[in-house]
Amino acid sequence: MPRVVSVFLPTLATDRIRRADPCIPAESPLVVVARSGSKRWLSAVDQNAAMVGLHVGMAAAKAQALVQGLHMVDADPAADLAALERLTIWALSQYSPVVATDPPDGIVMDTEGADHLQGGEELMLSGLVNRFRARGLPARAVIADTWGAAFGLARSMTAETKVIPAGKTADAVAQLPLSSLRFSAETIVSLRTLGFKTVGELAATPRAPLALRFGPEIGRRLDQMFGRVAEPIDPIRCPEIIEVHRAFAEPIGTAETIAKYVSRLVAALCLELQAKGLGVRRTDLIVHRVDNTIQALRAGTAKPVRDVAWLTKILHDRIEKIDPGFGIEKLSLAATMVEPLNDRQIVSSLVEATGIDITSLIDVLGNRGTHRIYRQAPVASDVPERSVQRISPVADEDGRTWPLTWPRPVRLMDRPELIEVIALLPDHPPVSFVWRGKRRRVKRADGPERIFGEWWQRTSEWTAVRDYFTVEDEAGERYWIYRSGDGVDPQTGSHRWFIHGMFA
Res 401 pLDDT > 80: no
| Residue 252, phi then psi, degrees to nearest 5 | -110, 160
C-alpha dist (Å) from residue 442 to 381, 408, 433, 470:
29, 19, 8, 10
The Cα diameter of the chain in Å comes to: 90
Q: Is the pTM of this model over 0.85?
A: no
Average pLDDT in the 146-172 region? 93
Rounded to the nearest integer, the mean pLDDT of the chain is 88
d(CA 36, CA 31): 17
- Report whether pLDDT(351) > 60: no
pLDDT of the residue at 248 = 94
Residue 87 has pLDDT above 60, yes or no: yes
Instruction: Say whether pLDDT at 342 is over 80.
Output: no
How many CA atoms lie within 13 Å of 103's alpha carbon, on the beta-carbon side? 11
The answer to whether the Cα torsion of 311, 316, 318, 323 is positive or negative is positive
Contact 109, 292 (CB under 8 A): no
Rg (C-alpha) for the chain, rounded Å, is 30
What is the band of 367 on the pLDDT scale with cuts at 50, 70, 90?
Answer: low
Cβ(109)–Cβ(296) below 8 Å: no
Chain-centroid distance of CA 335 in Å reads 20
Q: Cis peptide leading into 426, omega within 30 of 0? A: yes
The angle, 0 to 180 degrees and rounded to 10, between the axes of the packed helices 217-226 and 207-214 is 130
Residue pLDDT, tens place only, 38-74: 899 999 999 999 999 999 989 999 999 999 889 999 9
Please give the C-alpha separations between residue 452 and each of 32, 286, 499, in angstroms, as whole numbers. 54, 56, 17
Which has more pLDDT, 223 or 382? 223
pLDDT of 501 reads 92
Where is average pLDDT lowest: 36-50, 357-371, 404-418? 357-371
Helix (H) or strand (E) holding 467: strand 465-473
pLDDT grade, residue 301 (50/70/90)?
Answer: confident
- Checking if the pLDDT of 368 tops 70, the result is no
Give the pLDDT confidence of 108-128 residue by residue, as tens digits.
999 887 777 777 889 999 999
Residues 134-153, mean pLDDT to the nearest whole number: 93
What number is the average pLDDT over the span 459-478?
A: 91
